[in-house]
Amino acid sequence: MAGARAYPDGAPWGAANPAEEQNCASCHFDGAPIHDSEALAIDGLPQYIAARETYELEITFSDREATIAGFQMIAQAMDQHPGTFFSSVTAVEFVGAAIRSTAPIRESGGISWPVKWRTSDVTSSPVVLYVAVAAANDDGSPFGDTIHFRTYKLEPE
């Protein structure tokens, strides 16, 4: 079944931030979103971030209830550019400090997306990473889907 999409080009950039009015749970609204989801993690995060470093990250998601899943991640910082995401995966697109999947992935036992994050030339304040995963049932509707949110605050060296 072809999926119904409220946004044919993907979720609006910034929808991974659960504090935003238009977040992922705005369209996938059947169940309450799961904040600080233990099913969602980013492997490869450093304890402290350094300027001009490239970190190889992997967004991992394990939820046996999900038939398919997609993600979005954004980086934000108060007084500096938060860096740039990129990936060589064909079903992932990125624009500056935002990255998202463009097609849902099916996989039993867990799903992961490799991404890279290059920090900016200056890292004088914390960077916050917001990541959201839509755990969906593949029925083409917003019903039966659950949004998992997780937030990471990274301090500079």
Domain ranges of the chain: 24-156
Q: What would the pLDDT profile of 11-45 be if each residue is shown by its tens digit?
A: 778 889 888 888 888 887 777 899 999 999 999 99
At residue 102, the pLDDT reads: 87
Q: What kind of fold does domain 24-156 have according to CATH?
A: Immunoglobulin-like (2.60.40)
Q: What would the pLDDT profile of 107-122 be if each residue is shown by its tens digit?
A: 767 889 999 999 999 8
Q: With 70 as the cut, is the pLDDT of residue 5 above it?
A: no
* Angle, alpha carbons 52-76-115 (nearest 5°): 60
